[in-house]
Structure 1
Amino acid sequence: MTTKIALVTGASSGIGEATALKLQALGYTVYGAARRTDRLQKLAPAGIRPLAMDVTDEESMHAGIKHIIAETGRIDVLVNNAGYGSYGALEDVPIDEGRRQFEVNVFGAIRLAQLVLPSMRTQRSGTIVNITSMGGKLHTPLGGWYHGTKFALEALSDCLRLEAKPFGIDVVVIEPGGIATEWGEIAADHVEQTSGNGPYAAQANALATSLRSEANARRNSPPSVIADAVAKAVTARRPKTRYAVGFGARPLIAARAILPDRAFDALISRAVGLPTKAA
């Protein structure tokens, strides 16, 4: 039986690292991609193949896919995990930063899908896994650009699922809830830098405090729960279209589907300790 080949982006830490190790343990040949390959060297003893790739650089992505196919002749799984959350009030976040979030979180993922699809169509099989977020189904204050990217990736994934189905290709969305990674601290730093001074300071400081809180850290799920969901999806004969996993994902997505807009606004505002009136 031919060994299956997987590419995992954002593999240098957190969800990407856990996913790369999980797929390797299942017998896949795994390429772990990141901008800095020095951070991937810790995965080499497990057999992960480091791959330098910047998902905002066309040449880098094209060269990476070409390299994998040249070495192995195929790609069976693409896990689009690279992404970040740059928080701040929509009034404060520079438009260039908003564009960059879309470049990383959306355009990079879809461009990689475009690049692997010809090989997958030829072999009449393959799975594209897009890591979105419960934030692709709901909204929180000061996260407009981040949520915008995740909503967009959800919609694009739905369209791609329909288009790829006749060729035997599955498209799966993973919607993480709260996960114990560097993400929360990075988002807290961003929101303070962007909106910590000025008219949105009270909201920014409340959100940063919530993101850094010990209670929040204790509740967050380990990255392995996402890796397990990816493994379940890529090994299933008929995977689900979506897997909502990790702390808070299922109940909050369900609440967003049921509650009226203002009721959900109030729920989220209370959850992060947001002030009800401007100072």
Structure 2
Amino acid sequence: MAVSMRKRLLQELGELRYLPTGKRIRARRGDRVVADSLDAVLVWEPRRVVPVYAVPIRDVQGTLSPAAGRAGTQMPVFLDEQAGPALGPGVGFAAHTCHGTALDVVTDDGVCPGAAFRPADEVLSTLVLLDPEAFDWWEEDEPILGHPRDPFHRVDVRRSSRRVRMKLGGLLLAESERPLAVFETMLPVTRFYLPRDDVRVRLVPTATRTYCAYKGAASYYSVDGVGDAGTDIAWSYESPLPDCPQIAGLVAFHQERLDLVVDGTPIDRPRTPWSEVG
């Protein structure tokens, strides 16, 4: 009997998972090296959809001490229709979902509270997970921003002639016959990136900024006249990473929060971490 690859992969989401990497990984705090390792490992805590780097304790160039008030497991915060409770990319490092010890990283420059975590797992017992946001990171001699890339994740951008219409509360937001369709591994939605000329409403810039490890820094926009649902409903990558140059300057909308019609067929709103406002 055929097996759904999405279903099979989601079955592993509740496990503590790891994958060695051949890259030299360095974490810095200001001018100080906090970790420098040739034996780093990508680790996904249970219910995590993105990995963090873990390094051997011997490769940490600082003191690790128990972090007061940071022990214990925190509950997941969103529901994926197939995966069940899971932790999205925006959930902070402190939300640990396996047994272990939260640790402060102490250097001559000060303390990074709770920036490390030692899992209580036999296989990973000699490693500590490090907070992606607490340090500046290098893979070999290339700086990276955000969480490490998942080697099982890819982003495909394709030109499309499908007719896309997006409405919210009866207001036509955008209509296009020249979208770019963006497909991401395990994301249960095809993102449509549209030329700005095909957006039918005024986009109001907001202060919200996010960073995608695969696409780069995104700027957000709201739409007036539709209440809270229009807050930060659209975004654009003005200077995307070299992996996705085609989407530069185009506009995408949170399809989870609006009514989408593609080639005349209404599309059900998917349930993702971005389904709720805020």
- The structure, 1 or 2, with the larger RCO (C-alpha pairs under 8 Å, 6+ apart) is 1
> What is the TM-score when the length of structure 1 is the normalising length?
0.29
Q: Which one has a larger percent helix, Structure 1 or Structure 2?
A: 1
